[in-house]
A and B are shown apart, each in its own frame.
Chain A
Amino acid sequence: MEKGKEPKDLDTMTFLRRPTHARTLHDLGAFWQANRPVLGRAQVKASFHVDFLPLDLDGDDELLVDLTRYYLSLFSHRREDLVWKGMVQVPLDTVADDDQALQLLGPEPTSSDPEAGDGT
């Protein structure tokens, strides 16, 4: 959180492996279209307040370097005063940890009161 302002969303660069059944670009495209609710940037932003910027770990190496450089230049500093911003690296392939975390959090809040929070 910067300067006391509530962030509108979380910027994320997500490095993803292609699913085994969608290794080719054609299959990957179809997979992407079929899963827009969790892979479309606009949908993800609306549902989870997360700015979802995916990067393909099974794609072109040089492109990956270029894209990482671009996003890093975008997110590493505050633009107005060049102060470094913190970045958190979160591994996503951690189903066991996720289960534990869910247990710790307990059941989902049922209240529509925003003060109750949803943990995001």
Chain B
Amino acid sequence: MTSLRKLERDYIEANISEVTALLDRVGDRDVMSRFGLEDQLSELKEALAKLQAMPPETLGSAALFFGGRPVVGSQGIESGFAGSAVGQFQNLVSMVHAHDTVGLAERGTVPRRSSSTLHITNIVRGSFGFLLEEVQPQLQMVDSSLKTAVDEATRLLMAFGEDDEEDFRSAVEEIDQRVLAASGEFFDLMRKSGATVRLVSGDTDRSFGSDVVARAVDRARTTTVVDDNDIIRGQLAGVLPESHQFEFRSADERGTIRGKVDRDLTPHQLGLFNKEYVNTNSRAKFKVKRVLRDQAVVREKYTLTGIEPDAE
């Protein structure tokens, strides 16, 4: 497949509305044209129904359209810019893929890079763009891990462009500093090159004009994600073994903390937590993800990883 279904669907839907508007205008005034247009409309509706009846896509794909300084209409795009921009998008996808599958170290080689490779399978016009697709010899029944990574990378880039600061922060909370930096580099390249970008993936279609690019660069520059391991004194209020959630009353100024329990802990272990530690002085271990804006903590996410009696 060398075109995104969403772009195909958009084209057919635009065509349907055009033909419908023409038919409205034609009315009974033009017998000849009406027959032609009615046939045209039913062909388009049939094509749309066929597209909608297709099984859901399971492989990763995204289209990146560029505009602005590096682009000459739909004729061409500066090769250096195009190579860097597509490369940085790929880099982001590889990092998200590694983050979700085997984990991503603070520095060093990004693991599983080869299995997260997208291929440029087509150029798309209407400014100038590239279609990037996962190339697999066989059909997949369920979403590939690369598709999940492309979808997540898309959501993350979109979050950088959101008006709402909270939406951005909650998206950043799910990633780590390297992924954040990779997103920042992508937008920084857009800003430095005077480029704009439109990203289409799955049902998502988002345009980043120069003001949105500037905001994204600023967010990436001033935001940091820090992963810590904290030990906190207090009392466990309880855990939900199946949904892996906890509530813990800390003895310090943090007050009551709520969050998820590490998936490595079994429901059986969590049952024991409820028996042995509820309303008892304990020391709980947490993985804490902090989102900092201009060095100030704006969000914290706690994941309970263990608990032990407080001897003191």
**Smallest CB–CB gap between B130 and chain A, Å?**
13
With known contacts A41-B35, A54-B35, A59–B29 Cβ distance under 8 A: yes
With known contacts A63-B25, A70-B22, A54–B33 Cβ distance under 8 A: yes
Cβ contact of A80, chosen from B3, B19, B29, B31, cutoff 8 A? B3
Q: How far is B268's CA from A43's CA once the two chains are assembled, in angstroms?
A: 71
B39 touches A29 (CB 8 A): no
Residues of chain A lying within 8 A (CB to CB) of residue B3: 80
Whether A82 sits at the interface, judged by CB under 8 Å, is yes
Cβ contact of B123, chosen from A25, A60, A63, A81, cutoff 8 A? A81
For A79-104 the 0/1 string (1 means CB < 8 A from B) is: 11110000000000000000000000
8 pairs, CB–CB < 8 Å, chain A vs chain B: A28-B32, A32-B31, A56-B32, A60-B29, A67-B26, A80-B2, A81-B125, A82-B126
**Smallest CB–CB gap between B177 and chain A, Å?**
40
**Smallest CB–CB gap between B56 and chain A, Å?**
23
Whether A38 sits at the interface, judged by CB under 8 Å, is no
The 4 lowest CB-CB distance pairs between A and B, nearest first, are A54-B32, A56-B32, A53-B36, A41-B39
A45 nearest CB neighbor, chain B only: B39
Question: Of residues B26, B31, B122, which shows the largest number of chain A Cβ atoms within 10 Å of its Cβ?
Answer: B31
With known contacts A63-B29, A82-B74, A54–B36 Cβ distance under 8 A: yes
Q: How far is B25's CA from A70's CA once the two chains are assembled, in angstroms?
A: 13
Residues of chain A lying within 8 A (CB to CB) of residue B35: 32, 39-41, 54
Q: How far is B276's CA from A42's CA once the two chains are assembled, in angstroms?
A: 78
With known contacts A25-B28, A80-B3, A56–B74 Cβ distance under 8 A: no
Whether A55 sits at the interface, judged by CB under 8 Å, is yes
Cβ contact of A25, chosen from B15, B29, B122, B125, cutoff 8 A? B29
A74 nearest CB neighbor, chain B only: B15
Besides A41-B36, A55-B36, A80-B2, 19 new A-B residue pairs in contact (Cβ under 8 A), listed by A number = A32-B31, A32-B35, A39-B35, A52-B36, A53-B36, A54-B32, A56-B30, A56-B32, A56-B33, A59-B29, A59-B30, A59-B33, A63-B25, A63-B33, A66-B25, A67-B22, A67-B26, A70-B18, A82-B126
Residues of chain B lying within 8 A (CB to CB) of residue A56: 30-33
Residues of chain A lying within 8 A (CB to CB) of residue B22: 66-67, 70
Q: How far is B36's CA from A42's CA once the two chains are assembled, in angstroms?
A: 10
For A49-83 the 0/1 string (1 means CB < 8 A from B) is: 00011111001100100110010001000011110
Residues of chain B lying within 8 A (CB to CB) of residue A16: 32
**Smallest CB–CB gap between B202 and chain A, Å?**
20
B74 nearest CB neighbor, chain A only: A82
For B10-34 the 0/1 string (1 means CB < 8 A from A) is: 0100010011001001101111110
Cβ contact of B32, chosen from A59, A70, A81, cutoff 8 A? A59
**Smallest CB–CB gap between A95 and chain B, Å?**
22
Residues of chain B lying within 8 A (CB to CB) of residue A25: 28-29, 31
A79 nearest CB neighbor, chain B only: B11
B33 touches A67 (CB 8 A): yes
Q: How far is B30's CA from A16's CA once the two chains are assembled, in angstroms?
A: 12
